[in-house]
Amino acid sequence: MTLYADISDSGTRLDTWLAAQVDTLTRSAAARLLEHGAVTVDGVAASKSTRLRGGEQITVTLPEPEPLDVRPENIPLDVVYEDSDVIVVNKPVGMVVHPAPGHPDGTLVNALLYHCGGTLSGINGALRPGIVHRIDRDTTGLIIAAKNDTAHQSLAAQLQDHTLSRIYRCLIVGAPREDAGTVNAPIGRSAKDRKKMAVTPDGRPAVTHWKVIERLRGCADLECRLETGRTHQIRVHMAYIGHPVLGDSVYGAAVSGLTGQCLHATGLRFVHPRTGERIELSCPLPEEFLRARDKRRL
């Protein structure tokens, strides 16, 4: 991986800068890479205390992920659509999409491997077979997976050109004055807390379109359409405009009695990778979302 420092980065410690540039790196992980000689600045091995001048070329050699034993597991799935190329599932709250340190099993991937008999695309490697996009552990709703590489490539291209459309519903704290709007604000790793994302000047472009479905007591029911797909995008954008998602303990709206944030992927539209047919799918709001909404109706 090759990165370039800007003149505005002058004086920044290299380990801090790397953690801000690479989503998968914490500052401590960046420091370990530097200690092991895996980072060079203009071709010369650097230390974690190196400070940038601006304009340097930084090369990072990332280690291969440690292999996990990803096994099929007989976990019930709410299948909304399935054929020989794709499968769309209504993911429940609390389910992690793919195995990772701390979550080696019980994931959507484990369930898909069992349900699909191993017929999933291999483009994303052994840890994420079939996974085209992700939704957060405590976000519910529709997620699509590819059963072969051809389908995966088609769906990934549709994500890029917005042919694959994702529609969400969420309950937010408070209510915006307008009935609809767009948040266009770049998202990157938070400099204050590496476990969180934030709107940052050097983040990746992120666009969320929203409209008010219903104004409630102390909150509002919104429909959100993603133009991009950054980590925690809706949650970060709603918090950024002062209306965090109800129940989101990470971005400032924890609510006693709620299992997770009131955020649900309710709609999915895509062009079938084999037939070219336009597929439109939806799934109902989960019971916990409905209870939280009805409790706050005017």
Q: In the structure encoding, which two tokens stand for residue 112, read together?
A: 């898909």
Strand bridging mode 140-146 / 263-271: parallel
Q: How many Å from the N-terminal Cα to the C-terminal Cα in the chain?
A: 53
Collect all residues with Cβ–Cβ distance below 8 Å to 160 and sequence separation of at least 6: none
- Tokens standing for 11? 């004086």
Instruction: State the burial class of residue 150 (Cβ atoms within 10 Å of its Cβ: 0-12, 13-18, 19+).
Output: middle
Give the DSSP per-residue string, 140-188. EEEEEEESSHHHHHHHHHHHHHT-SEEEEEEEEES--SSSEEEEE--EE
Residue 249 CA to residue 256 CA, distance in Å, equals: 10
- Note if 136 is an active site residue: yes
CA distance linking residue 69 with residue 252, whole number of Å: 35
Which residues, listed in sequence order, are joined to residue 239 by a DSSP beta bridge? none
223 close to 213: Cβ distance less than 8 angstroms: yes
Q: For residue 114, how many other CB atoms are within 10 A of its CB? A: 15
| Cα within 13 Å of Cα(55), Cβ side | 2
In the block, which residue shows the tokens 């929203």? 210
Contacts of 97 (CB under 8 A, 6+ apart): 91, 107, 108, 109, 128, 131, 134, 135, 137, 143
Q: How far is CA 212 from the centre of its chain?
A: 23
Only one residue has tokens 């609390």, namely: 94
Catalytic residue among 9, 136, 138, 221: 136
Q: Which residues are catalytic?
A: 136
